[in-house]
Structure 1
Amino acid sequence: MTDLDTRPDKRPANPLAGPYGHPFHPIAVTIPIGAWIASFVFDIIGLIVADPTPYAVGSRVLIGIGLVGSLVAIVLGIFDHLRIPDRTRSSSTATIHMGLNFVVCGAYLFQLFLRTSTDDIPIAGVIFSAVSLLILSASGWLGGKLAYRYGVRVAHESKQAEGFVTRRSPR
């Protein structure tokens, strides 16, 4: 048995976090990311068309969808974070990743508040959206580092090797 076999993030986790080697957090984050990117696209379109109202409403709805989706992603991310041993590079990276995501969620909550009183595209909202997406990108890079560099909640390398076994072709 190697040290990796005993790592808490390599053993079966809380079933709500996803089965071994298949965490749910990475798929859940696609909801807020997609909604918030689409919201920004709606903002840009709303700034250049004659009637911004449908784009402003769409952007506001997408921000709301992103916030609801982020609640699910946060809960699943916390389940994953609890599997990481304290005082490790993975743990500190995960804590920064989580902190950045809380900042982004707070910024989008503020944006939703900004947009409730108008059917226009507020310039402050567009700026907050752009900055939030930049912060979200940095957080995503850290999330990728957790999965692809540190292997957090990813199946053990011996298990991954199954995917690289060459199959013999039938003759």
Structure 2
Amino acid sequence: MEQPSESERGQGPAAGRKVLLHPLLVTVPVGCWIAGAVFDVVSRAATRPGEFTTASTWLVALGLIGAVVAGLAGFVESLPIPVGSVAHRRFVVHLMLASMVIVLYMVDYLMRLGAPPDRPVPTGLLVFSLANTVVLVVTMGTGAAIRATSR
């Protein structure tokens, strides 16, 4: 009779690894916010800018909801990281940046509520949206650094 392979016995390269929800869940707010920034830029050149302005407002709102869910999952998944370790210090930096990103996008959303929905995104809001995207990308990098350190 043939012996089961390592992967069939659960001893292969992926044995003992658990699937983390946070890296999967953050794709929702990141995708929404980046798509929102793209729509903001497109609204400046579109023949019907209101559609892109409205869509980007909805994307910012959906991103906020997704960020709260992803953040809760990330916090729970970070609990086993030993306090004082390099991974924990990186987690604290990531948590502070992620919290700042959420606040920035809340401000972004509130600013959008005061902007006319049938016109292109105002220049100031466009610049703010693009700046938020830069902070978002930096925050993503700190999250990746945590994962690389905690393996």
Amino acid at match of 1:49: A
Please list the CA deviations of residues 75-122 of structure 1 after superposition, one character each: whole Å capped at 9, or x if unmatched: 001102212111111111011111111111111111111111221312
Percent identity among equivalent residues? 26
With 52-61 and 79-88 compared, the bigger mean Cα shift is at: 79-88
SS in 2 for 1:48: coil
Amino acid at match of 1:138: V
- Using the size of structure 1 for normalisation, the TM-score is 0.73
Match of 1:129 in 2: 129
Q: CA RMSD of the aligned region, Å?
A: 1.5
Please list the CA deviations of residues 7-45 of structure 1 after superposition, one character each: whole Å capped at 9, or x if unmatched: xxxxxxxxxxxx952110000000000000100110000
Q: Using the TM superposition, give the Cα deviation of residue 148 of structure 1 relative to its aligned residue in structure 2, in angstroms.
A: 2.3
SS in 2 for 1:85: coil
Match of 1:106 in 2: 103
Q: Does 1:66 align with 2:69?
A: no
Q: Does 1:26 align with 2:23?
A: yes
Between the two proteins, the alignment pairs up a number of residues equal to 133
Match of 2:49 in 1: 52
Ranges of 4+ aligned residues in structure 1 off by more than 3 Å? none
**d(CA) in 2 for partners of 1:128, 1:23:** 32
Matches within 5 A, 1:143-162: 143-151=143-151
Contact 1:115 1:122 in 2 (8 A): no
SS in 2 for 1:22: coil
- Using the size of structure 2 for normalisation, the TM-score is 0.83
Amino acid at match of 2:130: A
With 125-134 and 30-39 compared, the bigger mean Cα shift is at: 125-134
| Unpaired segments ≥5 residues, structure 2 | 1-15
Contact 1:39 1:60 in 2 (8 A): yes
